[in-house]
Amino acid sequence: MSRVINFSAGPAALPEPVLRQAATEMLDWHGSGMSVMEMSHRGKEFISIHAQTEALLRELLGVPGNYKVLFLQGGAIGQNAIVPMNLLRGKASADYINTGEWSKKSIKEAKAYCKINVAGTGEASGYTAIPKQSDWKLDPDAAYVHICSNETIGGVEYHWTPDTGAVPLVADMSSNILSKPIDVSKFGLIYAGAQKNMGPSGLTVVIVRDDLIGNALPITPSAFDYKQQADNDSMLNTPPTYAIYIAGLVYQWVKDQGGLQAMAEHNQKKAAVLYDYLDQSNFFSSPIAREDRSLMNVPFKLKNESLDDAFLKGAQARGMVQLKGHRSVGGMRASIYNAMPVEGVKALVAYMQEFEKQNA
C-alpha cells in the first residue's frame, strides 16, 4: 500500500490514525457485532457515538451551553438557503460580506428568501484581500451578517472576528473550522460541511444560539428547521450516521494532538513553510495580501503559465496530487488542512525548488 500526499480542497485527506481505527472497527464496532453503518440511529450504540461526537466538538470549540449543535445533511450549499429560511425572524433583509466564490454562492442562494445587502466586498482587490470592517456598510436592522471565514477557492481567510453588535454574525466555516481556537459566543450561527477538516462528506455541522431558532419561514422543510432538529437531537430524519462516527474519531484525534491551540500552531508553522518559499521565489508567487492569507488553502502561480502542466505532471510522479487550482482562478492550489503533516508541505516545497532550478 502506498498513500499519496493529498492536497485536495475537499473531500480532503483525513488523519491516518482515524482511517486505521475505522478499518479496525469496520466489521464489529466495540463488540456490537455490527459496523457503524449497519446500526439503527435510535439504538443505544449509535446514540452513544452521537453523544460522544457532540461532546467532543463542544469541548474542542468551547461551545457555550446556550448553543445547539446539530448534525445535518445537505452540505454548506444547502445551508446557504437554510440559514435565511431559519434566521430571517420577520426581518426583510440580511447583510453579506463578499470575499469571493463561496460568498457569491451564498448571496445568490439567499436572494430567493429576502433582500440581500452586500455590506462589504473584496471585488476591488480581485478578492485577494478581506475588506476591512471600517469599510463595511452594515444595516442595524439586518436579520444577520454573513461571512465566509475562509474562501477555499480564492485563499483569503479572516484572522479576526467581525464585531456586528446586536446583529447576529453567521459564518460559513466549512474550510477552517477546528484549524484554530475561536470564540463561539461572538457568532449567532456557524455552519460547516465536514469534508474539509472534520470527516467525510454528507455531514453538515450547525452551531446556533438558542434564541435565534424557532421562527423558520413556513416553507422550511422540517428536516431543515433548526428548532425541529434541535428538539429531536438532530434525528428528525436519519442523520448521516457513518459520517458522524468518523467526525467523532477526527475530533478525538484533534484532542489527542493538543486541541485547537496546538492545531493553530501546527497550521501556522506548516503554511509558513510554503508562503516563505513563495515570497522569496522569482518563479512562483502568491497573489494574496499577506495579512489575509489562508492557512488552509494556498493558491499560487507559476510566472510562466505554460509550465503549469509540466509542474502538475512532475508532482503526480512524486505522489503529490490535487494541486491544480480551481478552474475559476487557474494556477495551483495546495490545501493543507489539519490532517496534512508538515512533511507533506516540505516535500512540496522541495519539489518546487527542484522544478524552479530546472526551468528558471
Ligand X SMILES: *Cc1c(COP(=O)(O)O)cnc(C)c1O
- Catalytic pick among 102, 104, 225, 292: 102
Identify the three-state secondary structure at position 162. Answer: coil
CB-wise, 128 or 152, nearer to ligand X? 152
C-alpha triplet 254, 260, 266: angle, nearest 5°: 85
Q: Which stretch binds ligand X (CB under 6 A): 54-62, 69-77, 266-274, 349-357?
A: 69-77
- Sequence-distant (≥ 6) Cβ neighbours of residue 194 within 8 angstroms: 200, 201, 202, 203, 204, 205, 243, 247
- Is 270 considered catalytic here? no
Pick the binder of ligand X from 174, 234, 241, 281 (CB under 6 A): 174
Measured over the CA atoms of residue 2, residue 310, residue 155 and residue 96, the dihedral's sign is: negative
As measured in angstroms, the least distance from the Cβ of 202 to ligand X is 8
Q: Which stretch binds ligand X (CB under 6 A): 18-26, 74-82, 84-92, 134-142?
A: 74-82
As measured in angstroms, the least distance from the Cβ of 125 to ligand X is 19
Size of the site for ligand X (CB under 6 A): 12
- The CA distance from 47 to 63, in Å, is 20
Pick the binder of ligand X from 6, 70, 75, 315 (CB under 6 A): 75
- The CA distance from 339 to 291, in Å, is 24
Q: Is residue 57 a contact residue for ligand X (CB under 6 A)?
A: no
- The CA distance from 330 to 25, in Å, is 41
Pick the binder of ligand X from 77, 235, 272, 312 (CB under 6 A): 77
Q: What type of residue sits at position 270?
A: K
CB-wise, 57 or 83, nearer to ligand X? 83
- Catalytic pick among 68, 95, 104, 172: 172
Which residues in the 10-39 window bind ligand X by CB under 6 A?
Answer: 10
Pick the binder of ligand X from 128, 152, 322, 335 (CB under 6 A): 152
Instruction: Show the binding pattern over residues 180-199: x = contacts ligand X (CB under 6 A), - = does not.
Output: -------------x--x---
As measured in angstroms, the least distance from the Cβ of 101 to ligand X is 9
- Is 29 considered catalytic here? no
As measured in angstroms, the least distance from the Cβ of 194 to ligand X is 8
Q: Is residue 76 a contact residue for ligand X (CB under 6 A)?
A: yes
Q: Is residue 127 a contact residue for ligand X (CB under 6 A)?
A: no
Q: What are phi and psi of 27, to 5 degrees?
A: -90, -25
- The CA distance from 251 to 338, in Å, is 11
Q: Is residue 325 a contact residue for ligand X (CB under 6 A)?
A: no
Identify the three-state secondary structure at position 70. Answer: strand
As measured in angstroms, the least distance from the Cβ of 8 to ligand X is 11
Q: Is residue 175 a contact residue for ligand X (CB under 6 A)?
A: yes
- Sequence-distant (≥ 6) Cβ neighbours of residue 126 within 8 angstroms: 287
Using alpha carbons, list the distances in angstroms from residue 260 to 68, 159, 204.
20, 15, 20
Query: C-alpha grid cell for residue 248?
Result: 467523532
Q: Which stretch binds ligand X (CB under 6 A): 116-124, 129-137, 171-179, 226-234?
A: 171-179
Q: For the stretch 159-193, what's the b/e string if a residue is b when 16 or more beta carbons lie within 10 angstroms of its beta carbon?
A: eeebebeebbbbbbbbbbbbbbebebeebbbbbbb
Q: Which residues are tagged catalytic? A: 102, 172, 196
Q: Which residues bind ligand X (CB under 6 A)?
A: 10, 75-77, 102, 148, 152, 172, 174-175, 193, 196
